[in-house]
Structure 1
Amino acid sequence: MRIVQLANLYSPVSGGLRTAVNALGRGYVAAGHERVLIVPGAVESRVETDTDGLVITVPGVPVGAGYRMITNTGQVLRLLDELAPNSVEVSDKLTLTRVGRWARRAGVRSVLLSHERLDAILAPRVPDWVPLERVADLWNRRLVGSFDAIVVTSAFAREEFERIGAPSLFRVPLGVDLETFRPRGDTGSHHETRLVYVGRLSAEKHPDLVLGAVRVLTRRGLAVRLDVLGDGPARERLERETSDLPVVFHGHVGDRAEVAEKIGAADIALAPCPVESFGLSVLEALACGTPVVAAARGAAPELLTPGAGLAVPPTDEGLADGVETVLTWPAEDRRRRARARAEEFPWSATVDRMLAVHAGAPVPAGVG
């Protein structure tokens, strides 16, 4: 089977989207299928490797912070005519949705992989008077009408499509690289509680809550240190506002092994975003044996099991209370439970389920 993946906003700083697209693509190649990836870049290029298949970069328009978007969809459709895929997988809900209609005309199976929940990510960006749910429903009906299958990664992400009665809706949780993200042999001894946040420093991710929690914990007399792994438009402001706190900003860390090392060295990972459609950084923390305190809204709580983490109100005090609660759990036990939960999500299971969706075959049951 020749599968063509297409994605916008795919760049070295893309985080979860890039990780997921790459892991799936490499899984397709390893399973014996042909994989082609089409993404935006500064210039047009083609690179083929044994592990990644063929990666085609087409010129994309910069949309800020290292991201690009394909606007010349005509060029993409001509590429698809040339590539003659058996199935297409689209990780975009804007300019690349025309691919679904192309696939229908060409008799090619089409799959939309939903990486975000529209009503949730739009909420902080539009005025209160906008009928957000109705707007999201109208757009999602358009998507459902364009693609043969819609794939979501969580029950939270599934809700907006269930609301409009979408047929051919599949829930396929993402996976985690259990080799790169694994417990450290020795976490060392330290007098302070080490916290870690991995994510984009932008409003929709709510990093302010993590820093607010550090301020609350410090005020309560708990010695803490927070490592922030990520960059974004809010970084300068956050650094300025927390200059008096024990916080270290590392910026974007591209080396996955280094990210895993820093997560594994922490006592607790914090996941404050209440609109995550899956929570890949949560799963990566669990794989490192690091329990997670996460917002009680969004998809992240679906990944937590007793002893592996805690879902709390998405407030400064809520996160701080969660940290203090998790610290009462035996350290060895909470690390063991965190790792055990992550081991239920190997990328191989995600790849198998996605290949079934591409083939139009029954999708194997999996964890949730």
Structure 2
Amino acid sequence: MRIVQLANMYHARSGGLRTVVDTLGRGYIAAGHERFLIVPGAKPSIAADERNGTVITVPGTPVSGGYRMIFRPERVLRILASLAPDSVEVSDKATLVVAGPWARERGVRAVLFSHERLDSMVANRTGIRTLPRSMERAVGRWSRKVVAGFDDHVATSAYGERELTEAGATAIRRVPLGVDLNVFRPHPRALPAPPPGLTTLPRIKGAEAGPGLAPTPAAGPIRLVYSGRLSTEKNPHTAVEALRALRQWGIDATLDVYGSGPQFASLTRRADGLPVTFHGHIADRARLAAKLSHADLVLAPAACETFGLSVLEALACGVAVVAAAGSGAAELVSPEPGGAMPGAGLAVEASADGIALGVIELLAHPARERATAARARATQFPWSASVGRMLAIHSGEGHRCDDLVSALGGVASPAAVEAGPVPVEDHRKIDINI
């Protein structure tokens, strides 16, 4: 099967989206399929190797944060015609959605992979908490138009699925993302005797006074981490303000920030005088995993997170997470049947006090209990299962994708997803016509 993936807003620092698109693509190759990827770049290019398949770069227009977007999708359609795909997977709800109707008109399967909710994205980008009715209707019209052009619609969580349902999608496939459990794992030095924490949840004295807390034990400060893009929709400023609240309440805590983005300057100003260290974007996944594994807790304050790949990576490192309630990330730490064990994390109000109180409550669980619960939850999400579900969808068996997970997961094991040993055809034969 020849699968073509298309993605806008894709580059070296695009974080979760790039990780998902690339890992799935390598899984397709490992399972014996041909994988092509079309993305925006500064200039046209084409490259191929055994691990990544064929990557075609189309000139894109610079937008915020160093990203690029393809605003002339007719170039992409010409490339698709020359590739003659069996299935098209679109990770975009903007200009590249034209690939859906193009594929369906030619009997090619069209799959929309929903990485974000448009309503939440527009609200965060515009700074409007509640969209005006006119804007809400406009977003709804566009969403309905987008989903109408595809055979299958992929959501990674119940939170993300609700938007597709409201837009009229009927063939919605739930495909949770995965984590490389070999790279993201507890570091041997990350689980000594219980690190600093509280054995009981303090009594709340009042909103102004904050919790009544005993001094932090002498073993050292509580190590908090934020890992993700520094952009408005990720709500990183709330992580900084949560640290401020904790310290005002007498808790010795620090915050390490791993990521880059347009909010960097404002965040550094906001963090002035606080023990916050900005490490920038860490491209080396193993290095990031080592950093995460030394944290006591990870903060995930984005209320519009449709899944929370960085949350899953933290859990795999044995680190409990305080997540924003109502988000896809909150579903990862939910204690509902089949969910996380107590201590793996909490879903709280996405405010500074809400996150800070979540930190206090989680610290009531012993460190080893938190680590065990977090790692156990992460092991439920191997990339092999995600690849298996997606291959079932691409093959037209989306209605049976859950039944096929175990069988297909054996084809694309986590090791195979990383190795990608299947050769691709000579890319010089492809007429990209850019």
Question: So what's the TM-score if we normalise by structure 1?
Answer: 0.97
* Residue of structure 2 equivalent to 1:121: 121
Secondary structure of the residue aligned to 1:65 is: helix
Corresponding position: 1:166 with 2:169:
yes
Contact 1:119 1:132 in 2 (8 A): no
Partners of 1:172 and 1:195 in 2: how far apart? 30
Cα–Cα, structure 1 residues 164 and 235, in superposed 2: closer, same or farther, change >3 Å?
Answer: closer
Structure 1: 5+ residue stretches without partners: none
Partners of 2:272 and 2:105 in 1: how far apart? 57
Q: Tell me the amino acid that sits aligned with residue 35 of structure 2.
A: R
* Residue of structure 1 equivalent to 2:410: none
Secondary structure of the residue aligned to 1:88 is: strand
Partners of 1:109 and 1:297 in 2: how far apart? 32
Cα–Cα, structure 1 residues 165 and 71, in superposed 2: closer, same or farther, change >3 Å?
Answer: closer
Contact 1:156 1:299 in 2 (8 A): yes
Deviations 1:295-346 (A, max 9, x none): 1121111101222001111111111111111111011111011000000000
Q: Tell me the amino acid that sits aligned with residue 167 of structure 1.
A: T
Q: Matches of residues 242-321 of structure 1 in structure 2 within 5 Å?
A: 242-304=271-333, 305=340, 306-321=342-357
Of the candidates 392, 396, 421, which is equivalent to residue 356 of structure 1? 392
Name whichever of 12-21 and 249-258 sits farther off: 249-258
* Residue of structure 2 equivalent to 1:54: 54
Of the candidates 140, 144, 148, which is equivalent to residue 145 of structure 1? 148
Q: Matches of residues 11-30 of structure 1 in structure 2 within 5 Å?
A: 11-30=11-30
Partners of 2:140 and 2:272 in 1: how far apart? 43
Secondary structure of the residue aligned to 1:215 is: helix
Contact 1:150 1:168 in 2 (8 A): yes
Contact 2:147 2:167 in 1 (8 A): no
Of the candidates 244, 252, 256, which is equivalent to residue 227 of structure 1? 256
Deviation, 1:164, is 3.6
Corresponding position: 1:71 with 2:109:
no
Partners of 1:30 and 1:206 in 2: how far apart? 36
- Structure number with greater Rg is 2
Structure 2: 5+ residue stretches without partners: 196-218, 334-339, 407-434
Contact 1:88 1:110 in 2 (8 A): yes
Q: Matches of residues 92-241 of structure 1 in structure 2 within 5 Å?
A: 92-124=92-124, 125=126, 128-187=131-190, 191-241=220-270
Deviation, 1:74, is 1.3
Partners of 2:33 and 2:157 in 1: how far apart? 26
Q: Tell me the amino acid that sits aligned with residue 102 of structure 2.
A: W
Query: Runs in 1 of length 4+ with deviation above 6 angstroms?
Result: none
Deviation, 1:136, is 2.8
Name whichever of 265-274 and 40-49 sits farther off: 40-49
Higher relative contact order (CA 8 A, sep 6+): 2
* Residue of structure 2 equivalent to 1:339: 375
Contact 1:123 1:132 in 2 (8 A): no
Deviation, 1:243, is 1.8
Deviations 1:154-180 (A, max 9, x none): 000011121243111111111111111
Partners of 1:138 and 1:65 in 2: how far apart? 27
Secondary structure of the residue aligned to 2:46 is: strand
The number of equivalent residue pairs is 367
Identity %: 54
Deviation, 1:85, is 0.6
Partners of 2:81 and 2:331 in 1: how far apart? 40
Corresponding position: 1:90 with 2:126:
no
Secondary structure of the residue aligned to 2:290 is: helix
Contact 1:137 1:160 in 2 (8 A): no
Deviation, 1:131, is 3.6
Contact 2:144 2:168 in 1 (8 A): no
Partners of 1:208 and 1:36 in 2: how far apart? 38
Deviations 1:170-204 (A, max 9, x none): 11111111111111011267511101001111211
Partners of 2:238 and 2:176 in 1: how far apart? 26
Partners of 2:73 and 2:132 in 1: how far apart? 33
Name whichever of 162-171 and 355-364 sits farther off: 162-171
Secondary structure of the residue aligned to 2:402 is: coil
Secondary structure of the residue aligned to 2:343 is: coil
